[in-house]
């Protein structure tokens, strides 16, 4: 029987398909039986029956005479009695819970005065050996006795449930159905929980352990181990008696359990030495990170240890619990910087001494900065915004309460407000300015200008541009200037979304959205009103005129140029060019006026494409007729794809769009999902991307002792960045031979190797570099396409390494410079020729090499960035 199920009653009318003949017909005037008083009698008990397990069992159907036990039928012949309004309920007598009998079940059937129970069908409803379900039936023994219902006008009469319940001829009976035990359908031997499948049952020399058995089936009773015959495939490793394993010596053998009703079941048994002791490895973990707990058994030939068999706790070294770290899912998570102790106590072997290991929780923050200037409104508070280094999100649970704050008052004054359990805030006390200082964990940020501003009392709306009638289906981009009173307020006080914007139509009309963008919809005058949401009574209105937009005139043609100012290749009136995957190209549409004429208005273009492999960006420019459009291809672009980008001339009455077809070419540094498996390649070029923690992936410093730091820097402005560039900052300890160091990149070694292994194929490599350290002297920078493998047969030296190297002197101007080179692959002979020398060996083939980029930089460098590394095939 299923326990804990919802209580239910199965009404006769619900299961009419099963309980035949139970629809109420009402009073029959042809019969006139007397009251039987059955409702006042005790429930009539039909005893107990067992369910059956075989559908062909001769005892499958059990019949009940529903009139049994009634001696007087009120002057009516027994054959004239009808059974009506039957209700059925089922109860688990052990738990008292009522049990659901599905509406579709046909295990209970009514035929005239006889109730038939399908004991095989009921077995399917009662799951569990030895469980007993009580079936209770309530029904109307209809002998024609007339009892009044609320409405006797019609025939047949339909009585309510309450009226039926008051019928003295209602009878209640019960019968119990017991679920008998059955033999399991299947049996299997199971491995020791937590062990590898190859281990099977885990045993220990001199110790006894029971083999786990798993049974399945309905209403089964598990078999005892002594009902099986047990054998060991090698009794020199273990013996077995009635399912109890005794380890003899280390090794692996097989246990077999035999039973005449089942196939033989086998399981590997691995026997280990007894555990003598165990130890913990020291843990160093960053705050908000987790490190797995590692237990080591002694001797090593003892069974591998499972954390589930141990009690793990963290204390401070003096038996007091520590809040510096927590244990979760077998890992230690760092909470706060400091030292603690991890203790492990064996639950399986409580006599063994507990093991302890040091926990060192490290604060990963190397620096921080505070957003400046910081505005706070008079008599209000503000929470300073901080950015952590080396990554802004390196600690997500840090709040301003974790910092130390101090204020040096100037023309104004402010105070630090600290509240237990809440972030620290700054209170504006008097108008003017002050200086905010902050420290965290021994680190100090640059001081921040603190401006204490008065509350907004008034505004004035101004427009510096015309409001033009917007083409149907488009939105405008005009925003009004908000001039505040006083002149210095907190920025959020005059943010566009801090106002409720509305329009009053005049001779014209317009719409305005929640951010104050105005769209002209009808020519004529219109009034725009802004009302502050947070400053009652602050509002202003301005009248604007919706005008016809200026129209570009006298257009002769549209040309498209590359970043060098040269026209793209044109064919059949459409321009064409190529761009590599995970790369970009800057192209500029240029409108050409008819000779001796002008356009009559400013020129600007928009760019569009239907391709999901392309991102389009308009670069910064004051001249819309000389504005480059950046076309960025992501890794979903496939070699050979033809992608169309259109350039639409704004405010032009004609349909003179210009189209450019991009042919996608190969880039070995962009290998799609294979490459991105180490991190998230989204919005990054093929060589620079971040991992799931927002950290730079694959690049690393050759030797940390040089005090060199690399990081990912988000690209801004019109530079070549496609998301992030690599920033290299050398420290003060650089001293490596010829004053050079390098940072290797291995994200697409297989692709680089492809370019180096074919001596008949040429390649073009390009990359962008800029030096921003301000040193007037140029910096020596070398880029290598490198192939390397270790050759250490029998532990001997050495390795094979060969590379293509490109040397530059880069001026420290802070400007991006693009470098391009061509090279061909190497023959095996050429590689071995390049790889000669005391520290190199020779190679027999080119199949086991790793490819990488090497970046060598002069030791006097302080800050350098590199971006957008591309390797393209050069077709013959």
CA 74, CA 70: separation in Å to the nearest integer?
A: 10
pLDDT grade for 736, boundaries at 50, 70 and 90: very low
DSSP code at position 400:
G
Q: Please report the beta strands in 562-623, taking only residues with DSSP state E, as ranges in sequence order.
A: 569-571, 574-580, 584-593, 605-608, 614-618
Domain with CATH 2.60.120.260 in the chain: 672-874
CATH architecture observed for domain 458-547? Sandwich (2.60)
CATH number assigned to the domain with residue range 555-665, chosen from the 4 options 3.40.367.20, 2.30.40.10, 2.60.40.3450, 3.30.379.10: 2.60.40.3450
User: Token digits for 590?
Assistant: 């240029």
Of 725, 614, 629, 608, the closest CA to residue 664 belongs to: 614
User: Token digits for 203?
Assistant: 């045993």
pLDDT of 626 higher than 80:
yes
Beta bridge pairs of residue 803: 786
pLDDT of 245 higher than 90:
yes
Out of 44-58, 502-516, 688-702, least confident range: 688-702
Helix (H) or strand (E) holding 828: helix 828-834
By the 8 A CB rule, do 321 and 344 touch?
Answer: no
Condensed to tens digits (0 to 9), the pLDDT of residues 198-234 reads 789 999 999 999 999 999 887 788 899 999 999 999 9
Distances (CA, A) of 272 to 238, 269, 325, 586, 616: 11, 10, 34, 67, 64
pLDDT of 3 higher than 70:
no
Helix (H) or strand (E) holding 547: strand 539-547
Fold category of 186-272 in CATH? Immunoglobulin-like (2.60.40)
By the 8 A CB rule, do 299 and 272 touch?
Answer: no
Residues composing the chain:
876
Out of 50-64, 181-195, 795-809, least confident range: 795-809
pLDDT grade for 768, boundaries at 50, 70 and 90: confident
Query: In this predicted structure, what is the pLDDT of residue 761?
Result: 84
Rounded to a whole number of angstroms, the CA Rg of the chain reads 43
Query: In this predicted structure, what is the pLDDT of residue 676?
Result: 39
Query: In this predicted structure, what is the pLDDT of residue 147?
Result: 67
Of 456, 435, 448, the closest CA to residue 377 belongs to: 456
Looking up tokens 């991307």 gives 689
Condensed to tens digits (0 to 9), the pLDDT of residues 813-855 reads 888 888 999 988 777 676 666 655 444 555 555 555 655 556 6
Query: In this predicted structure, what is the pLDDT of residue 532?
Result: 97
Condensed to tens digits (0 to 9), the pLDDT of residues 455-492 reads 999 999 999 889 999 888 888 889 999 999 999 999 99
Query: In this predicted structure, what is the pLDDT of residue 7?
Result: 26
Query: In this predicted structure, what is the pLDDT of residue 232?
Result: 96
User: Token digits for 328?
Assistant: 């979760």
Condensed to tens digits (0 to 9), the pLDDT of residues 102-115 reads 766 788 888 989 99
Residue 316: what are its φ and ψ, rounded to 5°?
A: -90, 10
Query: In this predicted structure, what is the pLDDT of residue 592?
Result: 93
User: Token digits for 250?
Assistant: 């280390």
pLDDT of 415 higher than 60:
yes
Domain 367-453 has CATH 2.60.40.1080: yes
Condensed to tens digits (0 to 9), the pLDDT of residues 59-88 reads 999 999 999 999 888 888 888 888 888 888
pLDDT grade for 690, boundaries at 50, 70 and 90: low
| 276 contacts: CB under 8 Å, gap ≥ 6 | 298, 299, 302, 352
H runs (alpha helix) in 404-468? none
Query: In this predicted structure, what is the pLDDT of residue 143?
Result: 85
Query: CA torsion, points 227, 229, 234, 235, in degrees to nearest 10?
Result: 70
Higher pLDDT, 585 or 847: 585
Condensed to tens digits (0 to 9), the pLDDT of residues 156-191 reads 445 666 776 777 888 999 999 988 888 888 999 999
By the 8 A CB rule, do 440 and 366 touch?
Answer: no
Beta bridge pairs of residue 422: none
Residue 308: what are its φ and ψ, rounded to 5°?
A: -65, -20
Helix (H) or strand (E) holding 688: none
Around Cβ 818, how many Cβ atoms within 10 Å? 12
Query: In this predicted structure, what is the pLDDT of residue 844?
Result: 57
Domain with CATH 2.60.40.3450 in the chain: 555-665
pLDDT of 790 higher than 80:
no
Query: In 3-state terms, what secondary structure has residue 787?
Result: strand
Condensed to tens digits (0 to 9), the pLDDT of residues 337-370 reads 999 999 999 998 999 999 999 999 999 998 999 9
Query: In this predicted structure, what is the pLDDT of residue 561?
Result: 94
Domain 277-362 has CATH 2.60.40.1080: yes
| 435 contacts: CB under 8 Å, gap ≥ 6 | 407, 408, 410, 447, 448, 449, 450
Query: In this predicted structure, what is the pLDDT of residue 757?
Result: 72
Of 335, 322, 344, 355, the closest CA to residue 290 belongs to: 335
Average pLDDT of 630-647? 89
Query: In this predicted structure, what is the pLDDT of residue 740?
Result: 46
Supply the mean pLDDT for the chain: 82
Query: In this predicted structure, what is the pLDDT of residue 828?
Result: 67
- Give the DSSP per-residue string, 235-262: TTTEEEETTEEEE-SSEEEEEEEEETTE
CA 667, CA 806: separation in Å to the nearest integer?
A: 19
Residue 298: what are its φ and ψ, rounded to 5°?
A: -130, 120
User: Token digits for 252?
Assistant: 């692996």
Of 435, 526, 516, 422, the closest CA to residue 477 belongs to: 516
By the 8 A CB rule, do 547 and 466 touch?
Answer: yes
User: Token digits for 468?
Assistant: 């033009």
Distances (CA, A) of 642 to 71, 443, 637, 657, 763: 96, 53, 10, 18, 22
CA 21, CA 387: separation in Å to the nearest integer?
A: 80
Residue 828: what are its φ and ψ, rounded to 5°?
A: -60, -40
| 211 contacts: CB under 8 Å, gap ≥ 6 | 189, 201, 225, 230, 240, 243, 244, 245, 255, 257, 267
Query: In this predicted structure, what is the pLDDT of residue 54?
Result: 84
pLDDT grade for 453, boundaries at 50, 70 and 90: very high
Q: In what order do the strands lie in the sheet containing 229-232?
A: 201-204, 262-272, 251-259, 229-232
Pairing state between β 762-771 and 229-232: unpaired
pLDDT of 791 higher than 70:
no
DSSP code at position 319:
S
Looking at the chain, the number of H-run helices and the number of E-run strands are 5, 62
Around Cβ 791, how many Cβ atoms within 10 Å? 16
Of 13, 22, 10, 24, the closest CA to residue 149 belongs to: 24
DSSP code at position 676:
H
Of 652, 540, 676, 566, the closest CA to residue 601 belongs to: 652
pLDDT of 754 higher than 90:
no
CATH class of segment(s) 672-874 = mainly beta
pLDDT of 427 higher than 50:
yes
pLDDT grade for 376, boundaries at 50, 70 and 90: very high
pLDDT of 273 higher than 90:
yes
| 757 contacts: CB under 8 Å, gap ≥ 6 | 825, 826, 846, 849
Q: How many percent of the chain have pLDDT more than 90?
A: 47
Of 459, 460, 466, the closest CA to residue 544 belongs to: 466
Of 635, 603, 851, the closest CA to residue 751 belongs to: 851
Query: In this predicted structure, what is the pLDDT of residue 93?
Result: 86
Beta bridge pairs of residue 10: 88
Of 82, 240, 257, the closest CA to residue 186 belongs to: 257
Higher pLDDT, 302 or 745: 302
DSSP code at position 639:
T
CA 803, CA 876: separation in Å to the nearest integer?
A: 23
Written in H, E and C, the secondary structure of 145-189 is CCCCCCCCCCCCCCCCHHHHHCCCCEEEEEEEEECCCECCCEEEE
Q: How many percent of the chain have pLDDT more than 70?
A: 79
Domain with CATH 2.60.40.1080 in the chain: 186-272, 277-362, 367-453
Measured CA angle at 697 (ends 693, 699), to 5 deg = 145
User: Token digits for 733?
Assistant: 């300890």
Query: Most confidently modeled of 682-691, 740-749, 766-775?
Result: 766-775
CA 748, CA 581: separation in Å to the nearest integer?
A: 14
Query: In 3-state terms, what secondary structure has residue 503?
Result: strand
């Amino acid at each position: 029987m299923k326990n804990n199920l919802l209580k239910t009653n199965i009404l006769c009318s619900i299961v009419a398909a099963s309980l035949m003949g139970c629809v109420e017909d009402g009073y029959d005037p042809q019969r006139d039986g007397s009251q039987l008083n059955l409702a006042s009698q005790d429930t009539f008990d039909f005893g107990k029956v067992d369910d059956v397990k075989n559908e062909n069992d001769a005892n499958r159907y059990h019949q009940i005479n529903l009139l049994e036990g009634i001696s007087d039928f009120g002057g009516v012949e027994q054959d004239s009695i009808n059974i009506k309004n039957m209700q059925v309920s089922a109860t688990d007598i052990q738990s008292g819970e009522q049990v659901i009998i599905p509406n579709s079940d046909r295990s209970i059937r009514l035929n005239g005065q006889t109730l038939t129970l399908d004991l095989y069908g009921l077995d399917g409803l009662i799951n569990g050996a030895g469980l007993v379900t009580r079936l209770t039936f309530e029904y109307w023994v209809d002998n024609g006795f007339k009892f009044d219902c609320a409405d006797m006008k019609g025939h047949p009469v339909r009585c309510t449930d309450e009226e039926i319940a008051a019928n003295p001829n209602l009878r209640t009976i019960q019968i119990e159905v017991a679920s008998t035990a059955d033999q399991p359908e299947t049996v299997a031997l199971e491995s020791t929980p937590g062990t590898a499948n190859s281990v099977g049952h885990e045993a220990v020399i001199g110790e006894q352990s029971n083999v786990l058995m798993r049974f399945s089936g309905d209403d089964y009773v598990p078999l005892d181990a002594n009902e099986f015959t047990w054998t060991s495939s090698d009794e020199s490793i273990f013996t077995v008696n009635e399912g109890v394993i005794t380890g003899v010596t280390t090794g692996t053998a097989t246990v077999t359990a035999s039973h005449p009703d089942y196939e033989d079941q086998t399981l590997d048994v691995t026997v280990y030495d007894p555990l003598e002791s165990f130890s913990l490895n020291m843990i160093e973990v960053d705050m908000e990170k987790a490190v797995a707990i590692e237990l080591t058994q002694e001797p090593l030939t003892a069974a591998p240890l499972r954390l589930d068999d141990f009690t793990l706790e963290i204390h401070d070294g003096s038996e007091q619990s520590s809040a510096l770290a927590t244990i979760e899912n077998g890992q230690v998570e760092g909470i706060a910087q400091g030292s603690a102790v991890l203790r492990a106590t064996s639950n399986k072997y409580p006599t063994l001494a507990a093991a302890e290991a040091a926990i060192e929780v490290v604060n990963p923050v190397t620096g921080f900065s505070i957003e400046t200037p910081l505005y706070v409104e008079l008599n209000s508070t503000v929470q300073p915004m901080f950015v952590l280094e080396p990554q802004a999100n390196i600690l997500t649970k840090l709040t301003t309460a974790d910092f130390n704050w101090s204020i040096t008052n100037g023309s104004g004054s402010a105070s630090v407000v600290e509240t237990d359990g809440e972030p620290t805030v700054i209170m504006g006390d008097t108008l003017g300015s002050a200086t905010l200082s902050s420290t965290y964990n021994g680190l100090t940020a640059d001081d921040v200008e603190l401006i204490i501003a008065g509350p907004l009392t008034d505004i004035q709306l101004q427009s510096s541009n015309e409001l033009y009638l917007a083409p149907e289906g488009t939105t405008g981009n005009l925003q009004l200037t908000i001039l505040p009173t006083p002149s210095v307020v907190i920025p959020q006080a005059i943010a566009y979304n801090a106002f409720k914007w509305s329009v009053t139509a005049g001779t014209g009309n317009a719409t305005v959205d929640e951010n104050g963008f105005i769209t002209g919809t009808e020519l004529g005058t219109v009034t725009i009103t802004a009302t502050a949401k947070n400053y009652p009574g602050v509002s202003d209105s301005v009248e604007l005129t919706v005008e016809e937009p200026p129209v570009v005139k006298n257009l002769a043609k549209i040309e498209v140029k590359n970043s060098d100012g040269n026209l793209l290749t044109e064919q059949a009136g459409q321009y064409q060019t190529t761009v590599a995957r995970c790369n970009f190209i800057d192209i500029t549409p240029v409108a050409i006026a008819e000779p001796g004429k002008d356009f009559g208005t400013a020129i600007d273009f928009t760019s569009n494409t239907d391709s999901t492999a392309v991102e389009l960006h308009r670069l910064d420019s004051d001249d819309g007729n000389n504005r480059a459009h950046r076309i960025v291809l992501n890794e979903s672009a496939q070699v050979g794809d033809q992608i169309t980008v259109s350039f639409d001339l704004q405010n032009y009455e004609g349909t003179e769009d210009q189209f450019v077809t991009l042919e996608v070419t190969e880039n070995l540094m962009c290998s799609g999902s294979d490459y991105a498996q180490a991190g998230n390649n989204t919005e990054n070029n093929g060589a620079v991307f971040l991992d799931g923690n927002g950290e730079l992936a694959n690049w690393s410093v050759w030797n940390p002792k040089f005090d060199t730091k690399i990081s990912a820097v988000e690209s801004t402005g019109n530079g070549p960045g496609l998301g992030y560039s690599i920033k290299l900052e050398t420290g003060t300890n650089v001293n490596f031979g010829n004053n050079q160091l390098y940072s290797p990149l291995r994200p697409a070694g297989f692709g680089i190797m492809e370019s180096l292994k074919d001596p008949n194929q040429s390649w073009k490599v390009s990359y962008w570099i800029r030096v921003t350290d301000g040193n007037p002297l140029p910096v020596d920078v070398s880029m290598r396409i490198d192939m390397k493998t270790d050759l250490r047969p029998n532990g001997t030296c050495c390795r094979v390494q060969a590379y293509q190297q490109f040397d530059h002197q880069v001026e420290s101007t802070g400007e991006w410079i693009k470098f391009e080179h061509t090279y061909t692959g190497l023959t095996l002979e050429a590689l071995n020729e390049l790889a000669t020398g005391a520290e190199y060996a020779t190679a027999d083939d080119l199949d086991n090499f790793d490819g990488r980029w090497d970046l060598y930089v002069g030791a006097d460098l302080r800050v350098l960035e590199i971006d957008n590394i591309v390797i393209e095939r050069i077709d013959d």
